[in-house]
Structure 1
């Protein structure tokens, strides 16, 4: 039977597809209309804020690392950060254009490669400030754990999504073993902060994927047991916890100095800050361009600026989870939710350390702290997140048109 409304439907579909340039079927055109432009804009804002913040922190870092033989220019770290941004943005855009199957395949391969590098770190790694976390590739040091984070999350999401095909698969055991192996390698470096992030994201993914309540209750119940065990048998954790709970006592006195310096800097500027270049407390900060950059922002741009940055991070996470409310594909749901959780957790930990609400962990602030490995790895993670949240506007917003257009 002929549908008399067919010509009208065809005309409606044609008008919708061509309105506002959406008829562009090139790869770039399809990417532009499918991508979450709000999420991309928030990311660009964070990168821009990061450049300003690194510019403010660069003079103090340059002074700290200069000596009689090597004088570092005041804006040395800003110029390097500009270079890393130039490398990272293409990585972000290209990754966000990947089809979901290709993005998943890339993450699985990346997990295997990064695990191999992480295993190699204790043997051939570079030691800085008492920690062996980097591999020397000549031009720059590379931190495998930073690149492993997004790949690990996507791999774990894929494994958990397999339960929909076979409910008997022991995905909790498999992903738990993978997480435990990564945690062991990180604790050998030692890197307690990254260990917390990996374990937290794994537990969050188990909750999102609908793991039975009994299993979740048992895992959450193991958290305090794990913390006590870490305090008793893991020196790094004990030193950090002692410095946080008992300031200025024992081995943790140096860590307490860092948190005190961060607190003094972040509060020195008051609500509006001292103005760009007007900070003095930042010169007493260790790693003010990386781990404690949030405190530098507080001193020179004020607590209001710190609050705005916190809101930007919150907006990224909320935007992703709101967009996932109607996601039907389990893998995309788990992967995007896990990446957003990792992004928010890292930002939260970094800001908490800078404000004295958590023990010192050596955690960078996403897209804002200085660092090549961190910035490129974050760009890969955000690119994957944008790839997994891409939506055909006709399919997601108008089921009626999608049904008749065949999309």
Structure 2
């Protein structure tokens, strides 16, 4: 019989003592038990339900997208996107579960590292990026990688880290730091052009600086600055002007947003049934940007409403988990990550309902995607890691204001 492997002796922090070697197998079992005790199981369940919905939804939309890509010489298999989606979902699930095992400090370091790398890639996208539909947002690394997708969770982690410096030195202009960071990212995104992601980054920034103690007197100033920025974008930024004009002008029967709105209502309350939809065959990007409309046609508006409730439940569950948090970094990082996830989901849904200009943003956990699926799972993995909590430890019950105003008590 093979002798069991043992870990190396571990030094006890703050002393010269060492813990005895432990069998590797027992250590793994202990780690899994601790993880299962500390993880938010309800959050994990809601994520699993949305991923299951995504598998069925991509199966419904895959034939429509495959038909549009087929030519007279080459026929794309009907379920090509569905088969690839299964692979990406399994990869994403593995990534998410693996990240959820990280300690909070490890998650912070990883988020900062990934954010820094993706910010560097964002600088080179205009020069070496792939162009699709008039936008240059992707880099080919064996698969199409969109750096801004992975920068979103990195941005939330970095901003939370900087804003938490206020506990050590209340005089640091941390809000100015993160505002400048957001401005840099927004400028780089506008070069792609990618106005939608710039708006989403702005939403993440706003939620985090409000939680970090942005004076209420300045909120009106933020609103005025946002309105001014959109006005300037409309006047001098062609991408923004075309999208806003198309949205306000009502569109035509051939516009993507109009086609999506017609598709989502075609199935009525209960839908036509799986693979029985007709309007989806003329809908561009049926498996990605407009998959919510395909769900509406084949499974009905009732199913669409249930999906919206699932997203609301996931966001509210994460926020409820954060209400008892006594660590300022964890509170800010968790709020930023769930704002990114929820904001992306509801922007996509509003576009499909013809209540928001076309954006090119996927529906997280449901839409087909390679890097976008992995990026969403990366975000949720960090969120699960940050919200892990020992249920047997009593919380301090410290209010958010106390956390923000707490000074460094070190000698």
Same fold (TM over 0.5): yes
Match of 1:362 among 360, 363, 367: 360
1:134 CA drift (Å): 0.5
119-128 or 66-75: which moved more? Answer: 66-75
1:291 CA drift (Å): 0.4
1:397 CA drift (Å): 7.9
| Structure with the larger helix share | 1
Matched, 1:246 2:244: no
Identify the residue that residue 298 of structure 1 maps to in structure 2: 296
Identify the residue that residue 370 of structure 2 maps to in structure 1: 372
Matched, 1:42 2:46: yes
Identify the residue that residue 20 of structure 1 maps to in structure 2: none
CA distance in 2, matches of 1:156, 1:122: 25
Aligned residues: 371
Secondary structure of the equivalent of 1:364?
coil
Match of 2:233 among 223, 230, 234: 230
Match of 2:390 among 385, 389, 392: 392
Match of 1:195 among 192, 198, 221: 198
Matched, 1:288 2:292: no
Match of 1:348 among 346, 349, 362: 346
1:220 CA drift (Å): 2.0
CA distance in 1, matches of 2:384, 2:39: 7
CA distance in 2, matches of 1:137, 1:89: 21
64-73 or 114-123: which moved more? Answer: 64-73
1:385 CA drift (Å): 0.6
- CA RMSD across the alignment: 1.7
CA distance in 2, matches of 1:396, 1:202: 31
Match of 1:175 among 162, 172, 178: 178
Identify the residue that residue 32 of structure 1 maps to in structure 2: 36
Identify the residue that residue 266 of structure 1 maps to in structure 2: 264
Identify the residue that residue 323 of structure 1 maps to in structure 2: 321
1:194 CA drift (Å): 0.6
**Could you list the per-position Cα deviations for residues 341-398 of structure 1 after superposition, in whole angstroms to 9, with x for gaps in the alignment?**
1111111100000000111111110100100101111111001111111110101489
- Runs (5+) with no aligned partner, structure 1: 1-23, 400-407
> TM-score, with normalisation over the residues of structure 1?
0.89
Identify the residue that residue 122 of structure 1 maps to in structure 2: 126
CA distance in 2, matches of 1:233, 1:163: 37
Identify the residue that residue 67 of structure 2 maps to in structure 1: 63
CA distance in 2, matches of 1:396, 1:131: 50
1:60 CA drift (Å): 0.4
C-alpha change, 1:380 and 1:396, in structure 2 (3 Å) is farther
CA distance in 2, matches of 1:297, 1:344: 19
CA distance in 1, matches of 2:83, 2:364: 18
Matched, 1:186 2:186: no
Identify the residue that residue 383 of structure 1 maps to in structure 2: 381
* Runs (4+) off by over 2 Å: 214-217, 396-399
CA distance in 1, matches of 2:396, 2:328: 21
> TM-score, with normalisation over the residues of structure 2?
0.88
75-84 or 318-327: which moved more? Answer: 318-327
**Could you list the per-position Cα deviations for residues 66-102 of structure 1 after superposition, in whole angstroms to 9, with x for gaps in the alignment?**
1133321000000000011121111001111100111
Matched, 1:214 2:214: no
Secondary structure of the equivalent of 2:393?
helix
CA distance in 2, matches of 1:70, 1:158: 51
Identify the residue that residue 153 of structure 1 maps to in structure 2: 156
